[in-house]
Amino acid sequence: MARLTDIHLAAWRGLLNAHAAAVREINRRLQEEGGLPLESYDVLLELYEAPERRLRLRELGERVVLTRSGISRLVTRLEQDGLVRRGSVPTDARGVYAELTGEGETAFRRTWPLYARGIDAVFAGRMSEEEAGVLADLLGRVRGDSR
């Protein structure tokens, strides 16, 4: 069994609470300024960075940490808004992908400055570059990144 100390548990609770508070505040700011909801932006970001601006729904769900039904509902909403389109995977009869549309890319680009301001105000602006580097390193170790 791991040696959990009070400080380890406090760090864990702090991580969870800080994440929830930051996401809630950034999402509030995005909504106030007319941007996309954060979870929608995250989906468009993943699609924007993907080869051919498309990903299988399963892979997209893993990248944005949503359940299969959660990603399906979100992609349906984004599709209704014209921001993504679904397609069939030619090599897999059951496979479905989501692809970023031109309108989706425009919405993604329009939201980025709002998102960046939120990240700066709620997160980055509250620490030095050195502290951010330490935090990034620690979180990388938690994720299992090798260094």
- pLDDT score of 146: 60
| 52 belongs to a structural domain | yes
Residue type present at position 146: S
Per the structure, the complete domain to which residue 54 belongs is given by 6-122
Residue 67 DSSP SS3: coil
In this prediction the pTM is 0.83
Task: Look at 26-40, 88-102, 104-118 and tell me which has the smallest mean pLDDT.
Answer: 88-102
Q: Are 48 and 111 in contact (CB under 8 A)?
A: no
Q: Please name the amino acid found at residue 94.
A: R
**CATH number for 100:** 1.10.10.10
Residue 115 located in a structural domain? yes
Please count the structural domains in the chain. 1
Average pLDDT for 39-43 = 93
AA letter at 9: L
What is the average pLDDT across 54-64? 89
* pLDDT value at 67 more than 80: no
Instruction: Indicate the average pLDDT of the chain.
Output: 91
User: What's the rounded Cα separation, in Å, for the pair 57 and 28?
Assistant: 27
Residue 79 lies in a domain: yes
Flag whether 135 is in a domain.
no
Q: Is residue 145 part of a domain?
A: no
Report the DSSP pairing between strands 92-100 and 54-56: antiparallel
Residues 6+ apart with CB under 8 A from 1: none
